[in-house]
Structure 1
Amino acid sequence: MAHSRRDFIKKTALASASLSLPTYGFTILKKPELHDEIIGHGHFKYRVHKAWGNLNPANTPVKNCHEMVMDSKGRLIMVTDEVRNNIIVYDKSGKLLTSWTYNMKSGHGLTLFKEGEEDMLFVLDNSGRIIKTTITGKIIMELPKPHDIGVYTKKMRYRPTETTVAPNGDIYVSDGYGSDWILQYNKDGEFIRKFGGKGHKDEQLNNAHGVAIDDRDPNNVTLLCTSRVQNSFKRYTLDGEYISTIFLPGAYVCRPVIDGENIYSGVCWSRMKYLERVPNSGFVTILDKNDEVVSNPGGTKPKYKGGKLQLMLQNTSLFNHCHDVCVDEDKNLYICQWNANRSYPIKLERV
């Protein structure tokens, strides 16, 4: 009898939780605890571990958990805009390994790359400070600001959001909160060119929030740039020539994260019933080797009609503004969030 009663209570609780989920409405009224829930679609489904990254806020506080990367030793390195610990380093169990700061009030971008066999980082602050560091935090170089080298006029706004590094060492900076240019430097920090810029043409960008090297085809390495307001990734040659657009209707994507044959991205906002950008929303989107969406953990199942991707929406209240996705060797995901009540990263365990 006790067993039957437990089953009844569990089924009743699940039914009640399902009633609280949105049906493409305007706001989400209740946030369920989803520790044992499975989200995602097809071969990309995940068990939610909401408390995975929780730390003691008195000792290791966060404001916004902006981005995370995994180094060659399996350490998970995260950038925040909390000046007491701009960098937080976890192991994969969620244990704090170490932390340090650069006194950045707007720590935002974090890029891992190889220099020979050595892991290196670019750490970016929206104020315009972009530093190259060792994996332990030693500063090696700082990129010049475009105003200081005559690339921008005094009236042009510069608030960079992301970096990436090409196989030849060239550095690309996306000015996503500024003038929407992609700035290209050589490995020594010398300016080469800029391309993109704010506008509505195919080759232009609107909120160039992220940038990444797409090396899935080693014979055709390209650059993927986020155009977040346009719900798109745009592809360019490494010399800045526009190639194509990946349109992701309904998804205000952050940076593209390349892992294996897939692209992952946090969706910082979702559109809803009347196509408005809804606060406290978001999900994760995953694309296959053909740049087609195959799963939306936290969002609606991707659908194609006549070869065109249909509107994608949030369908659970788990996430508030997914800002980045980090993928480990077991294809588990670690989700950083912006404007999410100082919450720590969430782990999605691949099932």
Structure 2
Amino acid sequence: MKKSILKSRREFLKKSTLTGIAFSLPVFNIISKPEVAQEVIGHGDFRYKVHKAWGNLDPEKTPVKNCHEMVMDKKGRLIMITDETKNNILIYDKSGKLLTTWGHEFPGGHGLTLFDEGGEEVLFICDPETGRVVKTSLDGKILLELPHPKTLGAYESTQAYKPTETAIAPNGDIYVADGYGSQYILQFSSKGELIRKFGGPGDEDANFSTAHGVCIDTRDKKNITLLCTSRAHNAFKRFTLDGKYLSTIFLPGAYVCRPVMDGENIYAGVCWSRLRYLNQTANSGFVTILNSKDIVISNPGGTKPVYKDGALQLIVQEKPIFNHCHDVCVDNDKNLYVCQWNANKTYPVKLERV
């Protein structure tokens, strides 16, 4: 009888202990984001911890096709454009939480530029599929639409114009990169009046091969210039604000997208690199970072930059972390947010500065 009582007591204590342990264990939400990777990439002082799941959302509710570009507003909100018309604009906070979405009219939603217009921030959106360039409020109200260059006599064909990017000068002039069309940079006034076009296709210094991006370089306040992408040339090309060619930053191996200025540095997504037989190779993207002297100092996901006799040697993807990097956004803590094209509809990746 005593043995039976003792056995029952031991079984009771065992079950109670297990139950207590079960209740003391942390509760995991099965729909939470997966554990972040702890891999560190990059070079020198520009090294980053990879958070691949940072921007993950429910694709049934908030789908993306290609995450084309991202900017950060004064409030620290991260605003991204996709070519998914269910929600062209996605706005995140820095934790990766979705704050809101808007936009259904940009089937080729591609270029996204933020500009402070007298204290009020506005967006410029490029859609190469429809040939539209529009200025909007941060909540999506259209404030201005640039005229199509064919209506101005600057182009002969409607289909020849496929704008990919804008940059806004301090005086409000709007520069449009026709990266998927005729390879010109078009300069408009703040009111949408065409001032000039320059560049065009070709392999001369002042020509472009995929004029994919454009930005204003204000690092030298006395000599503000225009930095333009010539992606198939693996280069950024520098021009005066009135369209005169100045110089080339050659980035051998790197099919760079738009240049992004932050402080003294230039950041860019590299869509492809020259891996196989030095050809443009699929799923070979990385990020590149240049310093104030236009020297590459880090290639997160890519090979370490090496210069010989002042010339940058071939830079290519080193680790298959990215598919095709299309844009980089830099926050106030110098973390990076990487948008990708043709990456199986994945959301932005965060690179945490270490």
**Is 1:309 paired with 2:335?**
no
**Partner Cα separation in structure 2 for residue 35 and residue 340 of structure 1:** 18
Q: In the alignment, which of 344, 348, 352 is matched to residue 349 of structure 1?
A: 352
**Partner Cα separation in structure 2 for residue 180 and residue 102 of structure 1:** 27
Q: Is the Cα contact below 8 Å between 1:333 and 1:349 reproduced in 2?
A: yes
Tell me the equivalent position of 1:321: 324
**Partner Cα separation in structure 2 for residue 284 and residue 35 of structure 1:** 18
Q: In the alignment, which of 47, 68, 71 is matched to residue 69 of structure 1?
A: 71
Name the CA shift for 1:265/1:309 in 2 (closer, same or farther; >3 Å): same
**Partner Cα separation in structure 2 for residue 224 and residue 194 of structure 1:** 15
**Partner Cα separation in structure 2 for residue 218 and residue 155 of structure 1:** 38
**Partner Cα separation in structure 2 for residue 344 and residue 286 of structure 1:** 22
SS at match of 1:299: coil
**Partner Cα separation in structure 1 for residue 215 and residue 36 of structure 2:** 31
Tell me the equivalent position of 2:39: 37
Q: Is the Cα contact below 8 Å between 2:88 and 2:104 reproduced in 1?
A: yes
Tell me the equivalent position of 2:216: 213
**Partner Cα separation in structure 1 for residue 56 and residue 157 of structure 2:** 43
Tell me the equivalent position of 2:29: none
Note the 1:165-314 alignment, pairs <5 A: 165-314=168-317
Q: Give TM-score scaled by structure 2 length.
A: 0.89
SS at match of 1:148: helix
**Partner Cα separation in structure 1 for residue 105 and residue 174 of structure 2:** 23
Q: Is the Cα contact below 8 Å between 1:85 and 1:100 reproduced in 2?
A: yes
Q: Is the Cα contact below 8 Å between 1:156 and 1:179 reproduced in 2?
A: no
Note the 1:7-18 alignment, pairs <5 A: none
**Partner Cα separation in structure 2 for residue 66 and residue 236 of structure 1:** 25
**Partner Cα separation in structure 1 for residue 208 and residue 76 of structure 2:** 34
Amino acid at match of 1:104: F
SS at match of 1:107: coil
Q: Give TM-score scaled by structure 1 length.
A: 0.90
Q: Is the Cα contact below 8 Å between 2:287 and 2:302 reproduced in 1?
A: yes
Amino acid at match of 2:63: P
Amino acid at match of 1:46: Y
Runs of 4+ in 1 over 6 A off after TM superposition: none
Count of residue pairs brought into register by the alignment: 319
Q: Is the Cα contact below 8 Å between 2:275 and 2:284 reproduced in 1?
A: no
Task: Give aligned-pair identity as a percent.
Answer: 67
Tell me the equivalent position of 1:82: 84
Q: Is the Cα contact below 8 Å between 2:150 and 2:158 reproduced in 1?
A: no
Note the 1:17-36 alignment, pairs <5 A: 35-36=37-38
Deviations 1:114-138 (A, max 9, x none): 1001111001111211110111111
Name the CA shift for 1:156/1:138 in 2 (closer, same or farther; >3 Å): closer
Cα shift at 1:102: 3.5
Deviations 1:212-232 (A, max 9, x none): 000011111000000000000
**Partner Cα separation in structure 1 for residue 175 and residue 116 of structure 2:** 15
Cα shift at 1:34: 7.5
Tell me the equivalent position of 2:116: 114
SS at match of 2:110: strand
Q: Is the Cα contact below 8 Å between 1:66 and 1:337 reproduced in 2?
A: yes
CA RMSD of aligned residues (A): 1.1
Higher deviation after alignment, 267-276 or 108-117 = 267-276
Amino acid at match of 1:211: V
Structure 2 portions without partners, runs of 5+: 1-34
**Partner Cα separation in structure 1 for residue 159 and residue 38 of structure 2:** 48
Structure 1 portions without partners, runs of 5+: 1-32
Q: Which has the larger radius of gyration?
A: 2
Q: Is the Cα contact below 8 Å between 1:268 and 1:281 reproduced in 2?
A: yes
Cα shift at 1:154: 2.6
Deviations 1:51-95 (A, max 9, x none): 000001011000000000000110000000000000000000000
Q: Is the Cα contact below 8 Å between 1:171 and 1:187 reproduced in 2?
A: yes
Amino acid at match of 1:97: L
**Partner Cα separation in structure 1 for residue 157 and residue 48 of structure 2:** 48
Tell me the equivalent position of 1:22: none
